[in-house]
Structure 1
Amino acid sequence: MEYHRITSIEDPLFKKMHQLMQNVFPPEEVLAFDLWKEPLEDPGIRVFVAVHEGEVVGATEYRYYEDFHVAMTDFTIIGQAGLGIGRFLAQRRAEDLNKLAEANGKKMYGMFAEIYDPYRVDHYEFGGVKPMDPYVRREVLSHLGYKRLDFPYVHPSWNNDGEAVTGLDLCFLPSDENKNELETDLIVQFLRRYYAVLPNKPQAWNDMVEQLASVPTVKLLPL
């Protein structure tokens, strides 16, 4: 299996990746094809696909914030069962991030991720791909060491229509597995930068960020 970075919408594998995204994610979570041009050309956004026998069978997007010493996993897609795609992507992503951190003279502090909570919202089928089942994905993140940040989380719709998307948790994978709380200053700075690309934010998101800024830390709880 090949770990291939995509940096242009002209890459033939990008069309396959985008179709895979449409197959497994809700429509409001998938950025339109043409709108991927700038993100793919951004050196800070890292989009890789798992290629098996010429086909895109998995994908992951993430970014490393060198001033925060943290990363964000935007998404991970497993397109088929029985190929070890999840472990392949997780290992290659970790190797890549550790190299970026070393080049920056730092160690990774941790990595953020958003995860659907199927115990609150159970209608996401993710194209019928069983490894993408939200119950499975949540347990996989737990096994990897992710913890749930203890506050009600919403995020702006990627349609940039001002709608608030609920039914998710914001999670964090601390490099120190004994860490049980996270500084809200880091969370607020991260969220403001991560969603700066969406100018039309819902009021619920603004209220959430203001509430976070009013307390020093947030608990990290088991998934």
Structure 2
Amino acid sequence: MEYIRITSIEDPLFGQMHQLMGRIFPQEEVLEFSLWKEPLEDPGIRVFVAVNKGEVVGATEYRYYADKGIAMTDFTIIGQEGLGIGRFLFKQRAADLAQLAAAGNTQMLGMFAEIYDPYRAEQHGFGGIPPMNPFVRREVLSHLGYMRLDFPYVHPSWQNDGEAVSELDLCFMPTDDSLASIPAALVADFLAGYYAVLPNKPQAWHQMVDRLREQDQVQLLPL
């Protein structure tokens, strides 16, 4: 299996990846094809596909914020079961992030991820791929060390229609397993920067960020 970075919508592998995203994720979670042009060309956004015998069978997008010492996993897609795609993507991503941290002479505090709450998102079939089932994904991410941030989370729809999506939890995987909380200002600043690309954010999102800015710490709870 190969781990290949995509930097252009003209790359045929991107076409395969976008089709896979549309098959796996709900419509409101998938950015329209042409709108990927700038993100793919952004050196800070890293989009990789797992390619097996010329076919895109998995993908992951993530970014590293050297100024904050944090990373964000935008998504991980497993397109087929029985190939070890999840483990492959995790190991390759971790190695890449370690190189980025070393290059920036920083230590990584941890990594954010939005994780579906299976009790609110169980209606999603996720392309009929068993490893993408929200119950399975949540348990796997818990095993990896992700913790749920203790506040009601909403995020703007990627369709940029101003709708609030509330079927996910914002989670954090700390590098230090003994960490019980992280600064609320760090969470608020991260979310403000991460969603700056979407101008039509719902009022619920703004209220959520304002509440975070009034807090000191956000507790890390088990998934």
**Deviation by residue 1:21-43 (Cα, 9 ceiling, x = unmatched):** 00000001000110000000000
Q: Does 1:23 align with 2:27?
A: no
Counterpart of 2:117 in structure 1 is 117
Alignment identity in percent? 70
CA distance, structure 2, for counterparts of residue 2 and residue 18 of structure 1: 18
User: Could you tell me whether the CA contact under 8 Å between 2:71 and 2:112 is conserved in 1?
Assistant: yes
**Counterpart of 1:219 in 2: which secondary structure?**
strand
Shift, 1:121, TM fit: 2.9
**Counterpart of 1:98 in 2: which secondary structure?**
helix
Structure 1 residue ranges (4+ consecutive) displaced by more than 6 angstroms after TM superposition: none
**Counterpart of 1:193 in 2: which secondary structure?**
helix
Counterpart of 1:205 in structure 2 is 205
Shift, 1:124, TM fit: 1.1
Letter paired with 2:49: V
CA distance, structure 1, for counterparts of residue 58 and residue 121 of structure 2: 24
Which aligned pairs between 1:40-189 and structure 2 lie closer than 5 A? 40-189=40-189
User: Could you tell me whether the CA contact under 8 Å between 2:117 and 2:169 is conserved in 1?
Assistant: yes
**Deviation by residue 1:35-80 (Cα, 9 ceiling, x = unmatched):** 0000000000000000000000000000011101100000000000
CA distance, structure 2, for counterparts of residue 100 and residue 193 of structure 1: 19
- Structure 1 vs Structure 2 CA RMSD: 0.5
User: Could you tell me whether the CA contact under 8 Å between 2:117 and 2:167 is conserved in 1?
Assistant: yes
Gaps of 5+ in 2: none
**Counterpart of 1:119 in 2: which secondary structure?**
helix
Gaps of 5+ in 1: none
CA distance, structure 2, for counterparts of residue 76 and residue 204 of structure 1: 26
* TM-score normalized by the length of structure 2: 0.99
CA distance, structure 1, for counterparts of residue 46 and residue 178 of structure 2: 28
**Counterpart of 2:119 in 1: which secondary structure?**
coil
* TM-score normalized by the length of structure 1: 0.99
Letter paired with 1:114: E
Letter paired with 1:74: D
Which aligned pairs between 1:189-200 and structure 2 lie closer than 5 A? 189-200=189-200
**Counterpart of 2:178 in 1: which secondary structure?**
coil
CA distance, structure 1, for counterparts of residue 56 and residue 63 of structure 2: 21
